[in-house]
Every structure is written in structure tokens, then in C-alpha cells.
Structure 1
Amino acid sequence: MEYAVLTGIILVAGVVLALVAQWRDWRPPLWAAVLVGIAVRAVLLFTAADDAWQPVDYMESFQPAGVAVLNGQDPVLASEGGWHFLPTIPYMYGILLWLGIPWVYAGRLVTVIADIVLIPLVAKLAGGPKASLRALQYALNPLALLVAAIHGQVEPVALVFGVAAFVVARGPGSPHRAGITTQVAVRLRRGMAAHGWRSSITRVLGRGGLLHRSLTPVSGDRADLRRGVFAGALMGLALCSKSWPIWLIPGMLLLLPNLRARIVALFFTGLVPLFFLVTLPIFAGTPLSDLPKVIAEIQNIRPIVGEWGWTPQFTGGDWALEPTMAKLGTYAIYLSMIVVAYLWRRADPIDLTTALLLIFMVVTPRLGAQYLLWFMPFLVARPTRFAWPAIIGVSLWSAYGYLYMTQFEVDTWWALHSQWSRASIVLLPILVMAMPWGRRSTPELAKPVRVPVKQQVGSPA
């Protein structure tokens, strides 16, 4: 990579500025943070696009998907396994290519614009008096710069929709919310003690019971349902970009104020991906008979391990097709997610989501450097004691792969890769420490705020 030194200087300067801003408690205007983010991303985009080295998947997987859309072909099938997701992002690629923008710029424009939009969204996610500081720190986040502007990976697109879903679901009021409370369980236990289990079940499931009241429309809940619709649609768009935002759904649902809004949000979360799937024959020219092939290709995930964490220790630091390791890692993900969801069940849904994403990085058997961006907006918005060691650690590891290893020919690259991938195990305990251990519960007073009916129609507060 020809511009590795310039890129490294920009990344290091950004980290230093972000840490100084933390130390000095700078709170710049939000527009200033956005302008800083635009400036550094623009510089890195143009230098990366002008470089002789281009990421392999960017050129051989993403570009064919965009060209397929431009030619009226299915992006999943025409890319010959290069694109394993719904066609939402290839549609964007196709439009930019149709406008005559060269691919080395077009593909990165999609991710860079999404990452710029994430800057104010991180401020919204953080809330409170330090919101603009968090926006500046994300604007300078080295991993975000590498993934969006250098690699052109699509994580920022999935994140921009996912974080927006959180912001919409939380709605007005305090930026801090309670997780799952114990009030319902306490009332059920008391009811069973006083009336017996049969009567208690009737009180929950019968007419006029707890479930019936939760599903019955009440005056003034239209705004809550509207939040559910928009939050669900945004989360659905996140799932159209990649499949991993499924881990964001629990936090989004918990941020919504009631059961009806959560049901509506879950419905639209599934409806949007279904829409993009069934409209493939209209917008991508996919024959109806090929839809099963598209679904099968999206579900086809090869069990490649050896890039990160514990699996390189068994593969010698090289990529390997190891179905057994991949299966064990998948089971470990499910088990750890259940444990973390239980431990953080009473936490703010944003802290729950941060914990879920971080533990995924610790136990996953397969990971690319871009995956480490998943937790960044959440950890930057709500930093923990070890947030910055984790941010700097994963950024250094990723930058070594992006900037240093790309200087060498294939044989040297593989030799460096074996050391680099095995060294990632050092980061696992740091990611565990960066989890929001001190925020495993939130005072139950921090509940969602229902906007009074008069205020909903525009009268002053």
C-alpha cells in the first residue's frame, strides 16, 4: 500500500486528538465533529482509491455484485458466491456505477457516507452533555476509518441503520433506560400465593388479564406504534445489508415502551428483508425459479477459521476449512449470548447490546477485521473503563493487517499473517474487560417517557 505512512499518521493523530478531547473534556459543536469526520474520510478515500493495492474482496466480490445490478442480473448468483446477502447494497453500487463513477471510488462512497451519518447518530445514542464529544471520538475512530475508507467493507451501512433503529426506538426522554424489570414476576408470585396458579394464569392470559391489557390499544399510543414501525423498518434495512445485525434486535425491542410497539417493530424488521427478497425478479431480473438458489447461496457460509482469536492457535495462524471448530464456535456463541443476556437483563438496552457484541468477538471462531467495528458506535457512545484500551488494541491489530502486511508479496504476507492472527488472542481479555460490568443494572426509575397527547400534536411543552 503506497500511502501507508500517510494513513498511519492520520490514524495516530486522530487517536491522540480523541484522547486529548477526553482528557480536556472538549464538547465541540456537532457540526464541527461531522466536518472533521468528513475531512479525514475524504483524504483516506481518495488516497486508497488512487493506490495500486486494492482489497481482494472489494474487487472480486463487491464489484461483481454492483456490475451485476448494472447489467440487470442477480447480484448473489452473478457474483459467483462473492455476495452472500440481500441486494440492498449492490443496488447502491449499481446506481453509482450507472452514474459513471469508477468502482474504486463508487464502492467506498457507499461506506464512507454511511460512516459519516454514523457520527451524529453516535451523539444521539450517547445523549447527555457529552454527546458531541462522543461524536468527535467516533469521527476519529481509527478502525472506522480503515473499514469504511480503506477496505470499503459494508459494516458501516449495516451499523447506520442499526444505530438509527436504536435512536428511534428510544424516542424522547432520558438517554438512560431500564432493561427487563422484575415487577411482573413479583406480581405473578404474589398472585399465585394469594389465588393459586390456575387463577394466576387466568389473570395473565384471560380476558382483561395482563396480556390482554398489553395488547389493547390505549389513548395516545399512536406515537409509540409509529416508533415501532420506523425502528423495525430501519432494523430490517440493517438486516438487508448483512445478517449479523440480528444481535441488535433484542436491545431495540427493549427500548420500545410497550408490547404492542415491540410486536409492530418485530413485524417490520422481518417485512423489509422479505420485500427485498421477493422483489428480486422486479429490480434485479432474477427468474422466479432461481429464488431458491439465491436463498441457498445467502445461507451458504463456509466454515473458514484461523483469522482471529482462539482458532488460529489450532491452525498455525492460517485459514482452514474446519467444520468441527466452526460448529463448536457457533455453540459457544449461542451459549455465551444467553449467559450475557441473563447477566445484563436489567441493564440499559444499549449496554446489553455492547456486552453481546463484545462477547461475540471473544468466542467467535471466524472473524474479519471489519467485524470489530460492530461494537464501536455503542462502546464509543457509552464508554467503559477499558473502552479505550480495547479501541486502541483492535485498531492496532487491524492497522497492522491493512497497512503493514499489504507492503509485501504473497509468501511474506502469509508468514506475517500466521503471526498476526495468533497474536489476536492477546486482545480477547481486553475485550472482556471492556464489557460494561459496572452497568449490569439500571435504576427502574429510568423508564421510557410517554409524550402527552397534547405535546404529540405540536403544542408547546
Structure 2
Amino acid sequence: MFALIAQWRDWRPPLLVAILVGIAVRVLLLFTAANDSWQPVDFMESFRPAGEAVLNGEDPVLASEGGWHFLPTIPYVYGILLWLGIPWEYAGRLVTVVADIVLIPLVAKLAGGPKASLRALQYALNPLALLVASIHGQVEPVALVFGVAAFVVARGPGSPDRVGVTTRVVAKVRRGMSAYDLRSGLHRMLGSGGLLHRALLPGATDRADLKRAALAGLLMGLALCAKSWPIWLIPGMLLLLPHLRARVAALFVTGLVPVFFLVTLPIFAGTRLDQIPEVINTIQDIRPIVGEWGWTPHFTEGNWDLRPELASFGTNLIYLCVVGVVLIWRRADPIDMTTAILLIFMVVTPRLGAQYLLWFMPFLVARPTRWAWPAIIGVSFWAAYGYIYMTQFDTNTWWALHADWSRASIVLLPLLVMAMPWGRRAPAAPQLAPPVRTRETSST
């Protein structure tokens, strides 16, 4: 409600005020949730064992019996907080609350322009962010804080409006392939002195560009160490970088970070070398549980169910739709393309927890569309019903309410489709095209 009033009144407080407001409401909810008799099941039975495993010098993935099926980056922090003697009900939420507070200025940076502080205030008061970070203690804010920071770094200084794949790049490729047969065209593209070779040559700002790319890649790699879903953010981050050479560097560093945390498991987590394949298999194993959200509850009568055929169909549908979105928004601002990717994921996914809906929030709040706030309010009310109302009842009543709650989520899917940035599928202005790079003169 306050976020909508801020939109209506066009409030633009100093960024510090937005941050302090965000801190106040998150800390208040953290203390309330930590002292509540109800605690989320995964928070207590999956996340806490992972933190205790690190504290005891054990592998967090194996010791939690698969309850934690990500890399151990966040459990390391859990372990440190538990070692300091902070009770779990506070320690587990402290990680997500701090990350969500850092997201407030990052949303302002992501938005840019004169309304940056308004967007920061709106994220500070975002009801779904408050529920996920302060009540559930889910780790989505940690993945997002690194992912959004990667976008901010990759974009660098200058106008907050950028373009994706420009028509100039497409025209170069077409010219390279036209008027030649396939073999000579490929040589012109990929051979020595071809378009790809020239694109990889260092430019006048190469050192600064590569530093920026490496930092963006490091941040995105840390996002992937928190959870696996930030892989959907990588295309947008790469498009924000100035040239192909920087994108290759960023992609390399992005992949290097998870590998580092994996190979150092024997040093920091007490994992034996022969256990690493088992850890990898556990991380990769995703049970095909459906029936929580969208179209699958109508096949499961609103209950959770192991339905591999629905999970497989939905996963393939995700890949197909994401490819379609990338093609449709390829020329758009990479942030808008990323928003569209995350929203279409929510629409077609066969399995989803309420915390997943936070994925698109920083991007949609930073660059709102016409239907952004109906979508934000809709998913926030749906999540709040599950987090606040349903948890007041016993198990049998909860399951009865869940059947209707999960099936009701289908009415939100059209809102998410309408909230996609349909009006921003092309660059805002031709002058937004990136400048031509100046090549360094070779001495050979």
C-alpha cells in the first residue's frame, strides 16, 4: 500500500531514508518471526542442518541428507553465525535480511535516472521481499543481491538505458555471409582476420573493460553459488558488457567461481575427495514435485505430487519459452529482456515455491511496466495468504486450505504475462547504440 502511495505521490526521498525504512520494517519482522511458534519447515529442517554441518566440520549437502542441495557458500555464513552463538531463528534470517537490505540501493542503481530513490523506497516496502527475507528466511535475496550487483557493474557508468543485440551487429553478420557460399562465408566470419577475430582484438579501453567484466562475472558466480536459478540472469549481464572480449572474460569468471567452491570442499567443509561425486549428484538431483503453483495443481487436486511427466513437460516448455523471449526482446534493454525471461518462467514452470516470485521483483520494480503493480500486488497477496494465514492452522486444515490456494494461483498467470515489458521490445532510441570500439594499433 505504501509503495503504491509513493508511486501516486511521486515520493523521491533521499536514498538513505529508503534504506532506513527498509531496515526498520525488515528487522521488526525478523524479531517477530524469530519469536513465533511457527517456523518454516525448510528453514528448520534443511537450512539449519546445513549450517550445523559446517560448524561441525561436515559436508553441508551430505550431512543435511540433501536438504541443502546447493553449493556450501551460504552454509559457511550460517556456520560462522552459529559459532558466534546467535540462535538459529535469528542467525538464519540475518543472512537473508542483510542481503535484502543491500538490494535496496542496488535497485536504485539498477533503475537510474530521477526516480531511482522512488524505486528504492518501493523495493524497501515490497511485501513479497519482506515475507521471503524476514519471515521465511529463504535464500533468494542472497542470490539476487549478487545477481543485481553483477548487472549494475556490467552496465557501468553512463545512461541507465541500453540496448541488446543491435541491428548494426546483425547487419555485419549478414554482410559477412551474403554474396559468399557457405564455406567462404564461414571463413569470412570465423577465419583469421574475420569478424570474430576482429571482435576479440583488444581495444583502447580493454583493461578497464576486462576489470569490469571480471567483477561482474565474480558477482554472478557468487549468485550461482547461492542457488542455481541465477543462470537465467547471465544473458542479460553479458549483453550489458561493451564487447565480445569482455563477455568472454565475464563468462569464464562466472563459471570459475562455482568450480572454486566445489573443489575447495575438502578444505573448508571437511568433504572427502571420494564424496565429491556424491555431492555433485545430490546438487543435480531435483525431485519432480509439482502441484504448488500455476497449471500443475489442476492435475494434482491442489496437492504436492511426484509427477515426472508434468515436470518434464514443464521444463521443456520453460526452455522453449525462454528461447522465444530472448528472440523477441533481443534488441531491448538487457534488463527488460531479463524481466521478460523471469516472468515467463513463472508463467510456465511446473514447480514453484512462493519465494521464487521474488526473482523478478528487483528488475520489475526498477523498470516497471504498465501492469507491474497489479502483478506485484497479486503475487504478494497470494504469498501472504500462504505465509501468514494458512500457517495459523493444524496440518489437516493447512492441507485443505493449500488445495484451494495452489489452484487459485492460476489467475495470476495472465497478470504476469501482461506485466512483461511488451512496449520495450526495441531500443528506446537509435542513439543508445554502443559506440564503435577503437582498436589498438598492432606492432607486428
Q: TM-score, normalization: structure 1?
A: 0.93
Task: Write the letter of the residue equivalent to 1:369.
Answer: A
Which amino acid counterpart does residue 239 of structure 1 have in structure 2? L
> For 1:326, which of 307, 311, 316 is the aligned residue?
311
Aligned equivalents of 2:286, 2:219: Cα separation in 1: 25
1:201 corresponds in structure 2 to 186
d(CA) in 2 for partners of 1:204, 1:278: 37
Which amino acid in 1 is paired with 2:374?
Answer: P
- 1:1-12 aligned at under 5 Å gives the runs none
- Which of the numbers 182, 186, 193 marks the counterpart of 2:171? 186
SS at match of 2:204: coil
Distance 2:204 2:110 in 1: 28
2:214 to 223, 226, 229: 229
One-letter amino acid of the counterpart of residue 446, structure 1: L
Partner of 2:8 in structure 1?
23
Distance 1:50 1:449, change over 3 A: farther
* Maintained 8 Å contact 2:177/2:189: no
**Aligned twin of 2:295:** 310
**Residue in structure 1 matching 2:250, options 265, 273, 276:** 265
Q: Measured at CA, do residues 293 and 21 of structure 1 come closer, stay the same or move farther in structure 2, by a change above 3 Å?
A: same
C-alpha distance after superposition, 1:93-152 (max 9, x if no partner): 000000000000000000000000000000000000000000000000000000000000
SS at match of 2:44: helix
Q: Of 331, 345, 355, which aligns to 2:340?
A: 355
The alpha-carbon distance between structure 1 residues 316 and 195, as it changes in their structure 2 partners (threshold 3 A), is: closer
Aligned to 2:371: 386
Alpha-carbon offset, residue 26 of structure 1: 1.0
| Consecutive unaligned residues in structure 2, runs of 5 or more | 439-444
How high is the sequence identity, in percent, across the aligned residues? 77
- Indicate the residue corresponding to 1:165 in structure 2: 150
Q: What is the root-mean-square deviation of aligned Cα atoms in Å?
A: 1.5
Structure 1 residue 347, shift from structure 2 partner: 0.7
User: Are 2:129 and 1:141 equivalent residues in the alignment?
Assistant: no
In the alignment, structure 1 residue 250 sits paired with structure 2 residue 248: no
1:123 correspondence with 2:108: yes
**Could you tell me how far apart the structure 1 residues matched to 2:435 and 2:25 are?**
38
Distance in 1 (CA, whole Å) between partners of 2:65 and 2:176 is 59
Aligned to 1:297: 282
Is the CA contact (8 Å cut-off) linking 1:172 and 1:449 kept in structure 2? Answer: no
Matched with 1:111 is 96
Work out whether residues 236 and 271 of structure 1, in 8 Å CA contact, stay in contact via their aligned partners in 2.
Answer: yes
After TM superposition, give the deviation of residue 24 of structure 1 in Å.
Answer: 1.2
**Does structure 2 conserve the Cα–Cα contact (< 8 Å) formed by 1:170 and 1:448?**
no
User: Is 1:178–1:445's contact at 8 Å kept on the other side of the alignment?
Assistant: no
**Residues 212, 305 of structure 1: alpha-carbon distance in 2 compared, 3 angstrom cutoff:** same
Q: Deviations over 1:320-375 (max 9, x none)?
A: 00000000000110111111111111110000000000000000000000000000
Q: Is the 8 A contact 1:173 1:449 kept in 2?
A: no
Task: Provide the rounded CA distance (Å) in 1 between the counterparts of 2:26 and 2:131.
Answer: 9
1:83 and 2:64 are equivalent in the alignment: no
Contact 2:104/2:123 (<8 A) preserved? yes
Deviations 1:178-198 (A, max 9, x none): 111122332343455556555
1:43 aligns with 2:15: no
| Residue type at the aligned position of 2:114 | P
Structure 1 residues 192, 238: CA separation in 2 closer, same or farther (over 3 Å shift)?
closer
Task: Give 1:354-373 correspondences, 5 Å limit.
Answer: 354-373=339-358
Tell me the SS of whatever aligns to 1:441: coil
Q: Do the aligned partners of 2:177 and 2:188 also contact (CA within 8 Å) in 1?
A: no
Distance in structure 1 (CA, Å) of the matches to 2:243 and 2:283: 33
Moved more, 185-194 or 423-432: 185-194
Equivalent in 98, 111, 125 of residue 83 of structure 2: 98
Q: Which of 135, 160, 163 is 1:150 aligned to?
A: 135
Question: For 1:360-439, what aligned pairs fall within 5 Å after superposition?
Answer: 360-439=345-424
The range that moved more, 81-90 or 200-209, is 200-209
* 2: CA distance, partners of 1:134 / 1:27: 8
User: For each residue in 1:226-256, what CA deviation from the matched residue of structure 2 results, as whole angstroms up to 9, or x when unmatched?
Assistant: 1110000000000000000000000000000
* Contact 1:170/1:255 (8 A) holds in 2: yes
Query: For structure 1, which segment, 178-187 or 41-50, has the greater mean C-alpha deviation from structure 2 after superposition?
Result: 178-187
Residue of structure 1 in register with 2:432 after alignment: 446
Q: TM-score of the superposition, structure 2-length normalised?
A: 0.96
Q: 1:289 to 1:193 in 2, by over 3 A?
A: closer
